[in-house]
Amino acid sequence: MAELVVGDRTLALDEDGFLEDASLWDEEVAEKLAETEDVVLTDEHWEVINYLRGYYAEFGVAPMVRKMLRDTGKSNAEIYELFPSGPGKGACKIAGLLKPTGCV
């Protein structure tokens, strides 16, 4: 099992690099997860991350891509520019969500 060291904490990751325990996520964890995706977080990234976290907190799942695009006002190309590995692998991972089971 992979691990992510954040300060004095060692967090378990699944085989795809997602947190095993989403409750351990915080902004410091997000920064470390972003490093694994070669992403430097900006305010624009945080806008998407905060949207994903809010949606997940309310519904218990990651939003479908179309819903995320509509709600954030971003295009698919903009999401891939921010998160090169995509909305599921990149954005959801950095946001500390559990690995999506379907298309996000």
Q: What is the CATH number of the domain that holds 24?
A: 1.10.10.370
Q: Across the chain, how many H-helices and E-strands are there?
A: 6, 2
Residue 19, in any domain of the structure: yes
Rg (CA), the chain: 13
Q: What is the predicted pLDDT for the residue at 100?
A: 80
C-alpha to C-alpha distance for 35 and 71, rounded to whole angstroms: 26
Above pLDDT 70, what percent of the chain?
Answer: 97
Q: What is the predicted pLDDT for the residue at 98?
A: 87
Number of domains into which the chain is organized: 1
Residue 17, in any domain of the structure: yes
Domain that holds residue 74: 2-94
Q: Is 92 a catalytic residue?
A: no
* pLDDT tens per residue across span 57-89: 999 999 999 999 999 999 999 999 999 999 988
Is the pTM here over 0.75, yes or no? Answer: yes
Q: What is the predicted pLDDT for the residue at 88?
A: 86
Residue 82, in any domain of the structure: yes
Residue 54, in any domain of the structure: yes
What is the rounded average pLDDT of the residues 37-43? 97
Catalytic residue among 56, 82, 103, 104: 103
